[in-house]
């Protein structure tokens, strides 16, 4: 069964996942809790509960946050004269906040990728 309506591009689906919306319709919410996706989209009825993103989102978040924090440390530290406790507290807090903010977004993107890959009409499914 081929569905001509499933023309959502991967980029659009990933963007919708990034902002916590249903990658299929862009209307419904993708998450029921902080990192718990809804079972089915309340708007279009797409099933999300069965998609398992595993450790992917955590790795992606750590990678991105690591780059941002290391970049920030390298560009700020040479110009400031903070006490050690202050810079440690600051950078660790920044990393924590970015990780907490980033995790659900990374998970949304992974769900969008997995869904897009298995979508009827994509190249892998007969
Ligand atoms: Zn939807």
CA of 15 to the centre of ligand 1 (A): 14
Residue 2 — very low, low, confident or very high, per pLDDT cuts 50/70/90?
very low
CA of 20 to the centre of ligand 1 (A): 11
**Helix, strand, coil distribution of the chain in percent, nearest 5:** 55, 5, 40
Specify the residue for token string 């902080």. Answer: 34
pTM of the model: 0.81
pLDDT at position 1 over 80 = no
Q: How far apart are the C-alpha atoms of 113 and 47, rounded to whole Å?
A: 14
Residues with Cβ < 8 Å from 124, sequence gap 6 or more? 117, 118
pLDDT at position 4 over 70 = no
- Say what angle helices 84-118 and 56-76 make with each other, to 10 degrees: 140
Which letter does DSSP use for residue 40 in this model? B
pLDDT at position 11 over 60 = yes
CA of 126 to the centre of ligand 1 (A): 24
> What's the pLDDT tens digit per position in 77-125?
999 999 999 999 999 999 999 999 999 999 999 999 999 988 655 444 4
CA of 46 to the centre of ligand 1 (A): 6
Assign residue 26 a region (left: φ > 0; alpha: ψ between -120 and 50; beta: otherwise): left
Query: What six digits make up the tokens of 31?
Result: 């998450």
Which letter does DSSP use for residue 52 in this model? -
CA of 53 to the centre of ligand 1 (A): 18
**Segments making up each domain of the chain, as ranges:** 10-118
CA of 25 to the centre of ligand 1 (A): 4
Mean pLDDT over the full length of the chain: 90
* pLDDT, position 6: 56
**Mean per-residue pLDDT, 31-47:** 96
**Mean per-residue pLDDT, 32-41:** 96
Residue 7 — very low, low, confident or very high, per pLDDT cuts 50/70/90?
confident
């Amino acid at each position: 069964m081929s569905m001509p309506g499933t023309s959502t591009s991967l980029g659009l689906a990933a963007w919708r996942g990034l902002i916590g919306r249903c990658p299929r319709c862009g209307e419904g919410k993708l998450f029921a809790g902080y990192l718990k996706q809804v079972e089915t989209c309340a708007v279009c009825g797409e099933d999300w509960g069965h998609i398992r993103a595993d450790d992917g989102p955590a790795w992606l978040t750590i990678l991105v946050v690591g780059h941002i924090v290391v970049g920030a440390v390298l560009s700020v530290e040479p110009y400031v004269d903070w006490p050690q406790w202050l810079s440690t507290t600051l950078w660790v807090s920044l990393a924590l906040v970015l990780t907490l903010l980033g995790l659900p977004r990374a998970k949304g993107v992974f769900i969008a990728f997995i869904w897009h890959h298995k979508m009827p009409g994509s190249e892998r499914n007969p």
